Chains A and B, each alone.
Chain A
Amino acid sequence: MDPYEILGLIPEADDAAIRGAYLELVRRYPPDHHPQRFAAVSEAYQILKDEGARLRYRLFNLDPGMRSPIEVLQRRFAAPEARKPLTAEDLQQFLRQRAMQ
């Protein structure tokens, strides 16, 4: 499911809006009483929580937990069905960000 949809956000949402929506939903669906709903909210938040995570999601539509770009690329090319076409611009931005780190 689309993480933006889970958090009730538009794709242009910034860090503050994403964090705000996440905290609001955590209070509404605390893990003790709504474990499954919470897990979905928390996963969506992990995917969108900062610029780097959002970019990885946009590029590869993949789990944000992976830290090394090599790992991300390996998965991307190992996947039998490429989920999204890669644009040159996105890839450049991704590599630039990595180089800065």
Chain B
Amino acid sequence: MAAILGIDLGTTYSEVAVLRDGQPEVVPVDGEPIMPSCVGLDSQGALIVGRAARNQMALAPENTILSIKRKMGKNEPVALGERSFSPEEISALILRKLKQAAEAHLGEAVTQAVITVPAYFDDAQRKATQNAGQLAGLEVLRIINEPTAAALAYDAGLEEDQTILVYDLGGGTFDVSLVVVEKGVVEVKASHGDTALGGDDFDNLLIAHAAEVFREANQVDLLQEPRVRNRLWAAVEAAKRKLSDVPFARIREEYLWQDHHLDLEIARHDYEELIRPLVRKSMDCVHHCLRDASLLPGAVDRVILVGGASRTPLISELIRQEMRREPAFEINPELIVAMGAAIQAGILAGQQTRSVLVDITPYTFGTQALSFQHGEMRDDHFVPIIRRSTPLPVSKAEVFVTAVDEQRQVDVRIYQGEAPSVDDNIFIGDFLIEGLSKVPAGNEIILNLALDLNGVLSVTALEKRTGLSKTVRMETGGKGPEFDLQAARRNLAELGGDEPATDEPGASVPADRQDLLTRAKDQRRRAMALMANIDETDAGELRLLLQQVQDAIGSGDFTKLADVLTSLDDMLFYLED
């Protein structure tokens, strides 16, 4: 039987895993377990995905797309080269690359997958993820929540019953889930989160900080220039990682702006003060989740940290303080979600019978109705039908009545959220039931809401006295037109890269580029070391060559860069001698 992939489609990184002999195994992509969720076009216009695309980020920001997950479920096309693509299409390119890597690894074709999404992803975002999978040639058997997947993977190595809190801070999204593992049942009790909070936001704060320091020193606003901003981002991101291990990190970028350098030391303490409000926000979600599950922090046996950004020491510190538990990192936080997805794939295939997963909806779903409150009629009343924290799948019905005599139609509007007024909740979609009987007000309409195991909603409305009904699978809601799979396929086909054969040369070119960039950096370092001990003529010539290197990198002209580097190398050789 063909393998089913477990895919963690992340904001900054994606991973793919398969179950082998009951054990989840992460499949390497381009030789690495994690692949940047990055899509781009190289200088020849060929499609590149993953590490190669990420490597050209600083050089060709206009030809590179990162963090597409933040746009999923929105009708916001992104430009790549001269064409524009939907978020689903870009995500499909990432999924296709993961699929190809898994096929190469397994030596067989793969057609099915389990894909993870943040627990707090809404209906439109889940559907967009399903569409992306389909577009990549994968039948998406199940969408599961990231923290739930992590709990499944964690449970696989667990003997006793436990209450676990999963704190999942990825590149772009944050989730917290409370999971009870008891007698082989992995049961999610409550989930909370923020789909717009992640490690990317930490980077942005650091970028703004570094740019401000630079602006004060040089009166230049670096953030206006995408290329410079991307170089700065790469430097800042590396410093952020370093700060997880050491108390100080240095951000150094030479010739960041013309002949101005950036040289900035940042203390972990200052960094933590920058990000503290964001981490605080995540901890508020943790407490909210505990309240939803009616649990006190003391009832939690373990806190597991998931997602690269959860390595931030400040997070462990706050968890120690507020949960009185030492957070656990027993499985690599970047890989645990993909591994859990692979385990769920195994459960679906019937290979894995150890655990049964019971997940919930983190949102309340309901409709809008007329109501009387304090003697006044209001039309913004939100009537909850499926409550948050209800286990999936679920189907609930509620009876409504028509408000006026001979009312022939009803506009059914569906919302998700917790607020008493629909205006404060998220609008998911609406539809019209027409042709109702000509009867006095009070005609009963039964509205049924159902959430499937993917957390995707369908709605049925039925006129009780006639049986007239209408069923709708809520499409992308108020956010845009319906997803057109065929059109998306054509759009991607024109981009090429469908056959692994055309993907290969695309991937090899940037490797050369990377090589050139490393050489450029190395030679610049050698040149700077010499600068103080050579006469003015030589120094002038050296500076000229360095400027040419900079220009070549700036314009993305790698042929020229190779030439200049050769001359520079000759000159350095002569001077060092």
Q: Which residues of B contact A27 (CB under 8 A)?
A: 183-185, 356
Among candidates B348, B387, B392, B395, residue contacting A65 with C-beta atoms closer than 8 Å: B387
Q: Which residues of B contact A32 (CB under 8 A)?
A: 142, 347-348, 356-357, 453
Among candidates A39, A46, A63, residue contacting B393 with C-beta atoms closer than 8 Å: A39
* Bound CA–CA A26/B184 (angstroms): 10
Q: Min CB distance, B116 to chain A, in Å?
A: 16
Q: Which residues of A contact B347 (CB under 8 A)?
A: 30, 32
**Cross-chain contact B395 with A39 (CB below 8 angstroms):** yes
Q: Min CB distance, B72 to chain A, in Å?
A: 25
* Bound CA–CA A95/B394 (angstroms): 30
Q: Which residues of A contact B384 (CB under 8 A)?
A: 65
Q: Which residues of B contact A46 (CB under 8 A)?
A: 390-391
**Cross-chain contact A31 with B183 (CB below 8 angstroms):** no
Closest to A29 in B: B356
**Cross-chain contact A65 with B390 (CB below 8 angstroms):** yes
Tell me the residues in window 349-404 of chain B with beta carbons closer than 8 Å to chain A beta carbons.
356-358, 384, 387, 390-396
Q: Classify the interface of chain B: helix, strand, loop or mixed.
A: strand
Count, chain A residues at interface, CB 8 A: 14
Interface 0/1 of A30-72, CB less than 8 Å to B: 1110010011001100100000000000000001010000000
**Cross-chain contact A31 with B185 (CB below 8 angstroms):** no
**Cross-chain contact B453 with A35 (CB below 8 angstroms):** yes
Tell me the residues in window 1-27 of chain A with beta carbons closer than 8 Å to chain B beta carbons.
23, 26-27
Q: Which residues of A contact B395 (CB under 8 A)?
A: 39
**Cross-chain contact B392 with A31 (CB below 8 angstroms):** yes
B182 on the A face (CB < 8 A) = yes
With contact pairs A30-B356, A32-B347 given, residues A39 and B185 touching in the complex (Cβ less than 8 Å)? no
Q: Which residues of B contact A31 (CB under 8 A)?
A: 356-358, 391-393, 453
**Cross-chain contact B348 with A39 (CB below 8 angstroms):** no
* Bound CA–CA A65/B449 (angstroms): 15
Q: Min CB distance, A60 to chain B, in Å?
A: 16
* Bound CA–CA A43/B450 (angstroms): 13
Q: Which residues of A contact B184 (CB under 8 A)?
A: 23, 27
Q: Min CB distance, B363 to chain A, in Å?
A: 13
**Cross-chain contact A42 with B356 (CB below 8 angstroms):** no
* Bound CA–CA A9/B395 (angstroms): 24
Most buried by A among B185, B356, B393: B356
With contact pairs A27-B183, A27-B185 given, residues A35 and B393 touching in the complex (Cβ less than 8 Å)? yes
Q: Which residues of B contact A65 (CB under 8 A)?
A: 384, 387, 390
**Cross-chain contact A26 with B356 (CB below 8 angstroms):** yes
Q: Min CB distance, B365 to chain A, in Å?
A: 12
* Bound CA–CA A30/B183 (angstroms): 13
* Bound CA–CA A6/B351 (angstroms): 28
Closest to A38 in B: B393
Q: Min CB distance, B458 to chain A, in Å?
A: 13
* Bound CA–CA A42/B356 (angstroms): 13
Closest to A45 in B: B391
Q: Min CB distance, A84 to chain B, in Å?
A: 19
Q: Which residues of A contact B452 (CB under 8 A)?
A: 35
Interface 0/1 of B66-79, CB less than 8 Å to A: 00000000000000
* Bound CA–CA A20/B358 (angstroms): 15
Interface 0/1 of B159-199, CB less than 8 Å to A: 00000000000000000000000111101000000000000
**Cross-chain contact A26 with B393 (CB below 8 angstroms):** no
**Cross-chain contact A39 with B394 (CB below 8 angstroms):** yes
Q: Min CB distance, A64 to chain B, in Å?
A: 9
**Cross-chain contact B453 with A26 (CB below 8 angstroms):** no
**Cross-chain contact A23 with B183 (CB below 8 angstroms):** yes
**Cross-chain contact A26 with B390 (CB below 8 angstroms):** no
* Bound CA–CA A30/B356 (angstroms): 6
With contact pairs A26-B356, A30-B356, A32-B348 given, residues A42 and B182 touching in the complex (Cβ less than 8 Å)? no
Closest to B356 in A: A30
* Bound CA–CA A38/B348 (angstroms): 15
Q: Min CB distance, B305 to chain A, in Å?
A: 27
* Bound CA–CA A39/B348 (angstroms): 18
* Bound CA–CA A30/B394 (angstroms): 14
* Bound CA–CA A38/B396 (angstroms): 14
**Cross-chain contact A26 with B348 (CB below 8 angstroms):** no
Q: Min CB distance, A35 to chain B, in Å?
A: 5
Q: Which residues of B contact A35 (CB under 8 A)?
A: 393, 452-453
Q: Which residues of B contact A26 (CB under 8 A)?
A: 185, 187, 356, 358
**Cross-chain contact A23 with B185 (CB below 8 angstroms):** yes
Q: Which residues of A contact B182 (CB under 8 A)?
A: 23
Taking A32-B348, A63-B396 as known contacts, 10 extra A-B pairs with beta carbons closer than 8 A to each other, sorted by chain A number, are A23-B184, A26-B356, A26-B358, A27-B183, A27-B184, A30-B356, A31-B357, A32-B356, A32-B357, A35-B452
A-B contact pairs, 26 of them (CB 8 A): A23-B182, A23-B183, A23-B184, A26-B187, A26-B358, A27-B183, A27-B356, A31-B356, A31-B357, A31-B391, A31-B392, A31-B393, A31-B453, A32-B348, A32-B356, A32-B453, A35-B393, A35-B453, A39-B393, A39-B395, A42-B394, A43-B394, A46-B391, A63-B396, A65-B384, A65-B390
Give me the 8 closest cross-chain CB pairs, A-B, nearest first.
A65-B387, A30-B356, A42-B391, A35-B393, A23-B183, A26-B185, A23-B185, A39-B393
